[in-house]
């Protein structure tokens, strides 16, 4: 029989599935929960807390959650002693801080949807509570967990490019995705959610920092709401697409975006966001009376539809980031310029041009997986796999986007927003300095 050396620290793998509580059963919470369907030996959904009946009951039924663990809100979870291993918090942005802090104080390990919170003070409070309670904590920066990113970082860290000098990174949001999420949808208005750079592109600034491998010290930024506003509304247009004379010629038509998908029987996201009833009649009713049927030029949106961010890093490297709505739906695009080579990537293929040999080589990282967890180029699956393994093994090394890493890159976003609003360069504090504010 093998003996255990008691002078060493061992990682003991859990023989039981990790028990999860889902806080917020919308598209992200339900999406992450599919990991338990695919791997019941690794994870199980022990409870769900969600105020909306349809989403709560659907997730509970899918995962056979015990009746006493089907809850309406966070208070019901907090009223009980700790009864699961970890929680997934997938509520709206402004509703992250309270559950994250309270559940960390109860000893739950936490997977928190991005962004951490819509302001830096709450981000600091969340990070501090996770660190103080010594719970495993991950933010859903899914781009860190893709096969594409793993391969790209492997190339960079191996020195194939020499030292990185500059990164150029583009997020092509997509014309209809902007209309759906950031003009008509939940993330259209800063007061109700958060700035566009935080809601959509904190992924990207986090990714740039991860690849660069050194701390960002200064940022500047410009961005505007250029197109989706009342002054751009075509003459003769109505405030709802269902009775608009110019709707057939509008690329942002809600009928074009949603009804065409329903008729092709494509009723998952974004159609499923409009209504639990994804029939033609159900979606048409939602377009007549709900927020997603509004003219894109007559909404209460105020987030930018284009933005650029310039960054300087400790090693005197630089980076630039562009977010724009006015693209086809496509993968993010990146160019990395090093002292010995150049890398070009599109979220799938990576091409490296070597200065010494004057030749190029290409790697294709596409997995071909079409499951729900294949979202974000497989990053959703990679994130869940890493987090569940971290909890099962009590191994924080499985997490790539912990409290300090995520606080640092969120601070980059808030500094960029400050720079945009104040039209100046903003210097960044260290995470240690930020945490001392608490």
pLDDT over threshold 60, residue 209:
yes
Question: How does strand 306-313 pair with strand 318-324?
Answer: antiparallel
Domain span(s) for CATH 3.40.50.720 in the chain: 18-142
pTM of the model: 0.91
Q: Say what percent of the chain tops pLDDT 90.
A: 91
pLDDT over threshold 80, residue 294:
yes
pLDDT over threshold 60, residue 201:
yes
Question: How does strand 18-23 pair with strand 86-89?
Answer: parallel
Check if CATH label 1.10.150.120 holds for domain 18-142: no
- The tens digit of pLDDT for each residue in 35-79 reads 999 999 999 999 999 999 999 999 999 999 999 999 999 999 999
Residue 86 near residue 391 (C-beta atoms within 8 A): yes
Q: 12 pLDDT band (50/70/90 cuts)?
A: very low
Q: 169 pLDDT band (50/70/90 cuts)?
A: very high
Q: What share of the chain is helix, strand, coil (3-state, %, to 5)?
A: 40, 20, 40
* Segment (H or E) for 297: none
Beta bridge mates, 311: 219, 319
Torsion of CA 146, 147, 149, 152, to 10 degrees: 180
- The tens digit of pLDDT for each residue in 355-391 reads 999 999 999 998 655 444 455 668 899 999 999 999 9
Mean pLDDT to the nearest integer, 12-27:
85
Residue 416 near residue 217 (C-beta atoms within 8 A): no
- The tens digit of pLDDT for each residue in 135-146 reads 999 999 999 999
- The tens digit of pLDDT for each residue in 173-182 reads 999 999 999 9
What does the block give as tokens for 160? Answer: 């194939």
Please report the pLDDT score of residue 367 as a whole number.
Answer: 63
Mean pLDDT to the nearest integer, 20-26:
97
- The tens digit of pLDDT for each residue in 91-116 reads 999 999 999 999 999 999 999 999 99
Closest CA to 373 of 364, 360, 365, 383: 383
């Amino acid at each position: 029989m093998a003996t255990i050396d008691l002078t060493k620290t061992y990682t003991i793998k859990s023989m039981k599935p990790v028990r999860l509580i889902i806080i917020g059963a919308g598209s992200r919470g339900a999406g992450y929960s599919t990991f338990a369907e695919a791997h019941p030996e690794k994870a199980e959904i022990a409870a769900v807390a969600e105020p909306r009946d349809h989403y709560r009951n659907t997730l509970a039924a899918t995962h056979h959650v015990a009746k006493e663990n089907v809850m309406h809100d966070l208070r019901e979870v907090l009223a009980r002693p700790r009864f699961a291993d970890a929680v997934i918090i997938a509520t709206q942005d402004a509703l992250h801080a309270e559950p994250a802090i309270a559940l960390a104080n109860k000893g739950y390990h936490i997977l928190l949807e991005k962004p951490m919170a819509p302001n830096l003070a709450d981000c600091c409070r969340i990070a501090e509570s996770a660190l103080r309670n010594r719970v495993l904590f991950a933010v859903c920066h899914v781009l860190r967990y893709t096969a594409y990113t793993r391969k790209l970082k492997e190339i960079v860290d191996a020195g194939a490019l020499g030292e990185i000098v500059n990164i150029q990174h583009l997020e092509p949001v997509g014309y209809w995705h902007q209309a759906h999420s950031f003009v008509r949808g939940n993330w259209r208005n800063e007061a109700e959610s958060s700035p566009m750079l935080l809601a959509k592109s904190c992924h990207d600034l986090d990714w740039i920092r991860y690849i660069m491998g050194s701390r960002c010290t200064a940022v500047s930024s410009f961005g505007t709401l250029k197109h989706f506003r009342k002054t751009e509304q075509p003459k003769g247009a109505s405030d709802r697409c269902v009775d608009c004379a110019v709707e057939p010629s509008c690329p942002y038509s809600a009928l074009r975006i949603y009804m065409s998908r329903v008729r092709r029987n494509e009723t998952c996201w974004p159609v499923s966001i409009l209504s639990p009833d994804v029939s033609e009649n159900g979606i048409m009713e939602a377009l007549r009376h709900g927020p997603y049927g509004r003219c894109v030029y007559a909404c209460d949106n105020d987030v930018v539809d284009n933005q650029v961010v310039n960054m300087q890093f400790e090693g005197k490297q630089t980076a630039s980031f562009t977010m724009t709505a006015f693209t086809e739906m496509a993968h993010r695009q990146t160019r990395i310029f090093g002292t010995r080579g150049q890398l070009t990537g599109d979220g799938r293929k990576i091409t490296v041009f070597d200065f010494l040999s004057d030749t190029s080589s290409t790697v294709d990282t596409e997995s071909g997986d079409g499951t729900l967890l294949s979202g974000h180029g497989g990053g959703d699956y990679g994130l869940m796999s890493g987090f569940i393994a971290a909890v099962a093994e009590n191994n924080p090394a499985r997490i790539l986007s912990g409290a300090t890493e995520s606080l640092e890159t969120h601070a980059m976003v808030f500094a960029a927003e400050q720079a945009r609003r104040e039209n100046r360069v903003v210097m960044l504090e260290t995470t240690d300095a930020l945490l001392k504010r608490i």
